[in-house]
Structure 1
Amino acid sequence: MTNVVKRTFNRAERVGGQVQRVLASLIQKGVNDPRLAQATITGVTLSRDLRIAKIYVSTPGGAQEKETVLSGFESAKGFIKRALAKELGLRYMPDLKFFYDGSFDYGAQINRVLKSIQTDDEKDNSTADEQ
């Protein structure tokens, strides 16, 4: 008999997943702000009492567009809260706080470093083969 470990999801995690799905759909279809056109919702965490939602966003433009995207979300916050309230049906709508997720930028930086190491290594190997 194998031991199966079941992971139980608490309510905050379930609601956070719903918030992320609704927000992603809203960005694609409902928000007309061009600052948010390329934004991606990378994660949502809710406090245990569901009063605060931390929403993590990323953009293909990287950190250069960070302030633009965050200000776009702040200006659309009222619209987003109303749309979320309609979809989620919660007793209290959580306060939305938007944060830039720099993990993709960090991953891209690591990728550039690895590629530069690889090119340097190829140059070193080609001179060794010629000797």
Structure 2
Amino acid sequence: MRKNSVKNTRINGEVQRVLAETIRGEIKDPRISPWTSVVSVEVAPDLKSCKAWISVLGDEEAQRATLEGLKSAEGFIKNRIAKVINLRNTPEISFVMDQSIAYGVSMSRRIDEVIARDDESARKREDTGPREETHS
């Protein structure tokens, strides 16, 4: 099976969906942040391994704790995927931290700050606009 085949793409989507549902609603580990998202999943063509890119909104401690919680729940997650998705092999999952959502939030905040500064300096220019000179 080619890496980009329709079947592999469908399997990636199904594993991502089941993984997200499992993390969101079935794992009770307090280390796992409620702000955890499954950004992307890539299942190997032989179905033996899977990389799951995870994004956690929060500080580095929350991200580290979430990764630890997910790694300790790997057996449960693999079992859940095996029950929901009928695959020849159930892949071993490795979690990778993805910073794209946090980066997007940070960039959005910076853009908002720049716009606010521009608006404020435009208002100041209007308030202290050119003064008319009066000739007596």
Matched, 1:23 2:19: yes
Corresponding residue number in structure 2 for 1:114: 111
Structure 1: where are the runs of 5+ without partners? 1-7
Greater gyration radius = 2
SS at match of 1:36: coil
TM-score, structure 1 normalization: 0.84
| 1:40-119 matched pairs, under 5 angstroms | 40-119=37-116
TM-superposition CA deviations, 1:76-115 (whole Å, max 9, x none): 0011111111111212111101011111111111112111
1:35 has 2:49 as partner:
no
Q: What residue number does 1:3 align with?
A: none
Could you tell me how far 1:50 is from its partner in structure 2?
1.9
What percentage of aligned pairs have identical amino acids? 31
Moved more, 34-43 or 18-27: 34-43
User: Residues of 2 paired with 1:74 and 1:121: CA distance?
Assistant: 46
SS in structure 2 at match of 1:32: coil
Structure 1 stretch 30-39 or stretch 109-118: which is displaced more?
A: 30-39
How many residues matched? 124
Q: What TM-score, normalized to structure 2?
A: 0.82
Compare the two structures and name the one with the higher helix fraction: 1
- Aligned-partner Cα distance in 1 for 2:26–2:103: 30
The yes-or-no answer on 1:123 pairing with 2:120 is yes
1:44-63 per-position Cα deviation (integer Å, ceiling 9, x unaligned): 11122222211111223254
> Where does the alignment leave 5 or more consecutive residues of structure 2 unmatched?
130-136
